[in-house]
C-alpha cells in the first residue's frame, strides 16, 4: 500500500478544488513554513484558508488590472459585508500588530477601500454553450479590498481566520464569464480603436475609490490567466453530470435544504430512503435551526459575531483548540480568556472568571470548546460546563467537527454547535463548508436567532453546495468504518515500545467522551488520533517519512492523511504550544476507509523504520 503523492500536488491526486496538498516528508513541512522556494514553487494546491487557490489568484489579477493603483494588493470576498469587515479588521489590527518585527504602515482614512466587480455574460446564450456555462439568472457581484501592499498580511489574516474568502469554484465561474465576454466581443467588434483594453477589463465594475487600469499591463494578461483554468473544468463538469453524481447548480437552493435537513436529522442513507426522522437528541430541532456557511471557521466566526451583537463581552476558550478559533476570539471584539489545558484546575479557574465578571457587571458572553479537541483529542466535561453556563447565563458553544454528530451528541448540552463540513461530513477533500446549529430548548435560543439574523449571510457558492450534498449522502454509512479502522490503528500504536503516547478519545479523558457518545451500535471514537514517540522528533520524522499514505493538511478524509500538526499550525509559537502539551514532534493522523489489514501493515512498517534506541 503506497498512496503518497508528489510534493506540492493536490491531495487527493488529480483532484480539482482539492483542499489538501502533498507535503510527503517532515522537512517538506518545515521548509513550507520557512517559505523555501523548493516547496512553494511546486505547490499547485493547498488548504484554501492558507493557500489562495490558483483560480482565486487569477481572479485577483483580473480585478487588480482594472481597479488597483501601483503598489496596491487586493483580496476578494463574496459579499460587501465580508469586505467591509476586512477593512475594519485591517484598521483595527495595523496599530495593534505594528512592531519592530512587523512594521505595518498605518493606513490613512480611505486608503483601504472596497470596489465591486460584477460577473455577468454579455451574451448569455454564448455563456451557456459549453459544459461549465450553466449561466445563472442573476449577475454575480464580488467585492475586492484594495490596500497598500505592505498591509496584505493583515488581509490574509482576516481571510484565514474567518474563512470568508471566495471559493475556487466561484472564482472559476467569474473567470469563465470574463473569458466568454472576451471572446464574444472580439467576434462582434474585432476592429475596435486601439487602447480599448480587454473585455475582462471592460466587465462591469463599480464601487468607491479610484478606478483605473494599471499601466503597462498587457490587454491579454487576464485572459491568459483565465484560459489556463478552463480545460479541466469543462471535463469535470461533464463527467459529474453525465454520470448523475451531481445536480445542476441551478438546483443549489434545494441542495442546501437537503443539507440542512441531513444535519438536523443525521439520517443514514437507508433511513433517508425510508423517510425516517432520526433525532439528534434534541426535541423540536428543525432544519430552520441549521445555518450553512462557507467554511468551518466561518461557523465559529459568525457565532462569535452574533454573540458580540447580543452581549459584547469577553469569551472563554476552554481547552486547546484549532488555531484559528482562538485567533477569532482574541482579535475580534474585547478578547478572550484562554484555559488551554481544559482539565482539572481549569474548571475552577473558569468558575472564578465567571463569578468575577458577574460581580463587575461585565458578564462573559460565551464558553467555546471542542469535543474532542484538535489535536489533543481531549473531551471537556460538558455537564460541568453546562451547569456553569446556566448559573451565569453564558452561551456554551461546542465544536463537534472531530467527533461528528454520527458519534457524539453535544447539542443536548450546548446552546450552539459548530462544525466543519469540509471534514468527515464531506470526506472527499474537494469542497469547503460549515454549519451552525442552535438548540431550540435553551434559554438563549430566541436572542441567538435574532442575533444570527443580523449577521448571517448565505455565502455557500451554489456549486460547492451541490458537491457537499453529493459527498455527504453516505456520511452516516462511512463513519462506522472509519471508527473501526482508527481504533485498530490506535491500539496497534499503543502496543509499540517506540510510542510514548497515543491521543485518542477512547484513552484520553475517556469518561467525558463516554458521557456524550451516542448509544447506537455504530457510534465510536472517530477517525483522528495523535501520536508522540519515545525518540522525540527524530523518531517522529522517521515514522512520518516512511508512512506510505497521503500526507498534508486537513482531516476527516475517506483516505488516511497524516501531518506534523504542530509544525504546520504553530511553527512561530512552538514553545507556547508546548506549554499545553502540543509538542513539536506530534504526528496527527486522520484514518480513512482503506482495508484494515493494509492499514495495519502500513503503520507497522512505519514503526519498524524508527531506529531502535
Q: What is the mean pLDDT of residues 195-199?
A: 37
Res 279: pLDDT: 55
**Using 50, 70 and 90 to split pLDDT, how confident is the model at 101?**
low
Res 394: pLDDT: 97
Res 246: pLDDT: 58
What percentage of the chain has pLDDT greater than the value 90? 76
Q: What is the mean pLDDT of residues 531-539?
A: 97
Cβ-contact 379, 343 below 8 angstroms = no
**Please, what is the Cα angle at 280 between 373 and 167, to 5 degrees?**
60
Residue 567 reports pLDDT greater than 90 = yes
Residue 204 reports pLDDT greater than 50 = no
Per-state percent for the chain, helix, strand, coil, to nearest 5: 45, 15, 40
Res 234: pLDDT: 46
Res 433: pLDDT: 97
Start-end of H helices in 104-151: 124-127
Cβ-contact 372, 516 below 8 angstroms = no
Spatial neighbors of 395 by CB under 8 A, at least 6 apart, are: 307, 365, 366, 367, 389, 415, 416, 444, 448
| CA-based torsion, 492, 498, 504, 508: positive or negative | positive
Which residue is associated with the grid cell 503598489?
A: 71
**Which pTM does this prediction carry?**
0.89
Q: Name which of 104-108, 171-175, 446-450 the model is least confident about.
A: 104-108
Q: DSSP letters along 37-90, please?
A: HHHHTT-S---TTTS--HHHHHHHHHHHHHHPPTTEEEEEESSHHHHHHHHHHH
Cβ-contact 584, 537 below 8 angstroms = yes
Comparing C-alpha atoms, which of 541, 516, 528, 517 is closest to residue 611?
541
Res 251: pLDDT: 80
Q: What is the mean pLDDT of residues 285-312?
A: 96
Residue 503 reports pLDDT greater than 80 = yes
Res 483: pLDDT: 98
Q: DSSP letters along 232-273, please?
A: HHHHHHHHHHHTTSS--GGGHHHHHHHHHHHHHH---HHHHH
DSSP state for residue 184 in the 8-state scheme: H
CA separation for the pair 360, 315 (Å, rounded): 15
Q: What is the mean pLDDT of residues 424-431?
A: 96
Which residue is associated with the grid cell 478519545?
A: 505
Residue 198 reports pLDDT greater than 50 = no
> Residue 100: exposed, middle, or buried by beta-carbon count in 10 A (0-12, 13-18, 19+)?
exposed
Q: How many CB atoms lie within 10 A of CB 521?
A: 7
Res 222: pLDDT: 47
Cβ-contact 549, 3 below 8 angstroms = yes
Residue 448 reports pLDDT greater than 60 = yes
CA separation for the pair 523, 278 (Å, rounded): 14
CA separation for the pair 346, 339 (Å, rounded): 6
Q: Is 95 helix (H, G, I), strand (E, B) or coil?
A: helix
Cell numbers describing residue 110:
480611505
Question: Distance between alpha carbon 216 and the CA centroid of its chain, in Å?
Answer: 37
Res 245: pLDDT: 53
Res 305: pLDDT: 98
Residue 444 reports pLDDT greater than 60 = yes
Task: Work out the widest C-alpha separation in the chain, in whole angstroms.
Answer: 77
Residue 203 reports pLDDT greater than 50 = no
- Which pLDDT tens digit goes with each residue over 243-294? 445 566 678 889 999 999 999 985 444 444 544 444 577 888 999 999 999 9
CA separation for the pair 515, 518 (Å, rounded): 8
Res 153: pLDDT: 94
Res 139: pLDDT: 87
Cell numbers describing residue 421:
463540513
**Please, what is the Cα angle at 566 between 560 and 569, to 5 degrees?**
90
Q: Name which of 143-152, 192-201, 273-282, 391-400 the model is least confident about.
A: 192-201
CA separation for the pair 275, 27 (Å, rounded): 51
Q: What is the mean pLDDT of residues 599-609?
A: 98
Q: Name which of 132-141, 223-232, 288-297 the model is least confident about.
A: 223-232
Comparing C-alpha atoms, which of 558, 578, 554 is closest to residue 568?
554
Cell numbers describing residue 501:
503516547
Sheet with 434-438: strands ordered across: 290-293, 434-438, 416-420, 395-399, 366-370, 315-318, 336-339
Residue 366 reports pLDDT greater than 70 = yes
Cell numbers describing residue 325:
478559533
Secondary structure (H, E, C), 443-486:
CCHHHHHHHHHHHCCCCCCHHHHHHHHHHHHHHHHHHHHHHHHH
Which residue is associated with the grid cell 442575533?
A: 451
Comparing C-alpha atoms, which of 274, 273, 244, 256 is closest to residue 469?
256
**Using 50, 70 and 90 to split pLDDT, how confident is the model at 236?**
low
**Using 50, 70 and 90 to split pLDDT, how confident is the model at 76?**
very high
Strand stretches in 149-253, DSSP E: 205-207
Secondary structure (H, E, C), 192-215:
CCCCCCCHHHHCCEEECCCCCCCC
Q: Name which of 164-168, 223-227, 304-308 the model is least confident about.
A: 223-227
Res 399: pLDDT: 98
Instruction: Work out the mean pLDDT of the chain and round it to a whole number.
Output: 88
- Which pLDDT tens digit goes with each residue over 105-125? 789 999 999 999 999 888 766
Residue 207 reports pLDDT greater than 50 = no
What percentage of the chain has pLDDT greater than the value 70? 84
Amino acid at each position: 500500500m503506497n498512496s503518497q503523492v508528489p510534493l506540492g500536488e493536490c491531495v487527493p491526486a488529480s483532484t480539482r478544488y482539492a483542499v489538501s496538498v502533498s507535503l510527503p516528508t517532515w522537512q517538506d513541512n518545515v521548509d513550507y513554513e520557512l517559505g523555501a522556494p523548493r516547496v512553494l514553487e511546486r505547490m499547485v494546491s493547498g488548504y484554501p484558508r492558507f493557500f489562495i487557490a490558483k483560480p482565486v489568484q487569477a481572479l485577483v489579477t483580473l480585478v487588480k488590472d482594472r481597479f488597483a493603483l501601483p503598489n496596491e494588493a487586493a483580496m476578494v470576498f463574496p459579499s460587501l459585508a465580508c469586505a467591509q469587515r476586512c477593512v475594519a479588521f485591517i484598521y483595527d489590527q495595523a496599530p495593534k500588530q505594528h512592531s519592530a518585527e512587523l512594521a505595518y504602515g498605518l493606513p490613512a482614512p480611505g486608503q483601504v477601500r472596497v470596489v465591486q466587480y460584477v460577473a455577468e455574460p454579455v451574451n448569455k446564450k454564448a455563456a451557456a454553450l459549453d459544459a461549465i456555462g450553466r449561466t445563472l439568472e442573476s449577475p454575480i457581484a464580488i467585492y475586492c479590498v484594495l490596500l497598500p501592499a505592505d498591509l496584505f498580511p493583515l488581509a490574509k489574516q482576516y481571510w484565514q481566520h474567518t474563512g470568508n474568502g471566495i471559493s475556487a469554484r466561484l472564482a472559476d465561474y467569474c473567470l469563465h464569464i470574463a473569458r466568454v465576454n472576451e471572446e464574444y466581443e472580439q467576434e462582434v467588434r474585432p476592429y475596435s480603436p486601439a487602447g480599448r483594453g480587454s473585455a475582462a477589463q471592460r466587465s462591469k465594475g463599480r464601487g468607491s475609490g479610484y478606478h483605473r487600469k494599471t499601466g503597462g499591463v498587457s490587454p491579454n494578461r487576464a485572459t491568459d490567466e483565465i484560459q489556463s483554468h478552463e480545460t479541466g473544468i469543462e471535463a469535470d463538469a461533464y463527467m459529474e453530470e453525465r454520470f448523475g453524481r451531481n445536480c445542476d447548480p441551478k438546483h443549489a437552493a434545494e441542495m442546501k435544504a437537503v443539507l440542512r435537513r441531513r444535519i438536523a436529522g443525521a439520517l443514514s442513507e437507508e433511513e433517508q430512503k425510508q423517510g425516517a426522522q432520526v433525532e439528534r437528541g434534541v426535541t423540536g430541532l428543525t432544519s430552520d435551526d441549521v445555518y450553512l456557511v462557507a467554511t468551518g471557521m466561518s461557523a465559529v466566526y459568525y457565532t462569535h459575531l452574533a454573540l458580540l451583537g447580543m452581549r459584547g463581552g469577553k469569551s472563554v476558550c476552554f481547552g486547546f483548540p484549532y488555531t484559528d478559533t482562538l485567533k477569532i476570539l482574541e482579535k475580534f471584539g474585547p478578547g478572550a480568556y484562554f484555559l488551554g489545558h481544559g482539565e482539572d484546575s481549569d474548571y475552577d479557574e473558569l468558575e472564578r472568571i465567571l463569578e468575577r465578571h458577574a460581580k463587575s457587571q461585565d458578564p462573559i458572553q460565551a464558553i467555546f470548546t471542542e469535543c474532542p479537541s484538535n489535536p489533543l483529542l481531549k473531551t471537556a466535561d460538558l455537564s460541568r460546563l453546562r451547569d456553569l453556563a446556566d448559573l451565569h447565563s453564558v452561551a456554551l458553544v461546542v465544536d463537534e467537527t472531530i467527533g461528528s454528530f454520527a458519534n457524539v451528541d453535544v447539542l443536548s448540552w450546548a446552546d450552539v454547535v459548530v462544525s466543519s463540513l469540509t471534514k468527515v461530513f464531506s470526506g472527499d477533500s474537494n469542497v469547503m463548508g460549515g454549519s451552525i446549529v442552535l438548540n431550540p430548548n435553551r434559554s438563549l435560543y430566541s436572542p441567538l436567532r435574532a442575533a444570527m439574523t443580523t449577521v448571517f449571510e448565505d455565502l455557500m457558492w451554489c456549486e460547492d453546495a451541490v458537491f457537499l450534498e453529493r459527498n455527504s449522502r453516505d456520511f452516516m454509512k462511512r463513519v462506522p468504518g472509519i471508527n473501526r479502522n482508527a481504533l485498530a490503528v490506535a491500539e496497534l500504536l499503543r502496543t509499540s515500545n517506540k510510542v510514548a503516547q497515543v491521543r485518542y478519545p477512547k484513552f484520553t479523558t475517556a469518561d467525558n467522551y463516554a458521557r456524550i457518545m451516542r448509544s447506537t451500535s455504530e457510534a465510536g471514537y472517530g477517525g483522528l488520533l495523535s501520536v508522540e514517540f519515545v525518540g522525540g522528533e527524530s523518531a517522529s520524522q522517521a515514522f512520518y517519512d516512511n508512512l506510505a499514505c497521503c500526507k498534508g493538511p486537513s482531516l476527516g478524509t475517506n483516505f488516511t492523511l497524516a501531518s506534523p500538526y504542530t509544525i504546520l499550525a504553530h511553527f512561530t509559537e512552538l514553545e507556547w504550544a508546548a506549554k499545553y502539551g502540543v509538542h513539536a514532534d506530534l504526528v496527527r493522523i486522520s484514518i480513512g476507509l482503506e482495508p484494515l489489514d493494509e492499514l495495519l501493515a502500513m503503520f507497522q512498517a512505519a514503526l519498524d523504520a524508527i531506529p531502535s534506541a
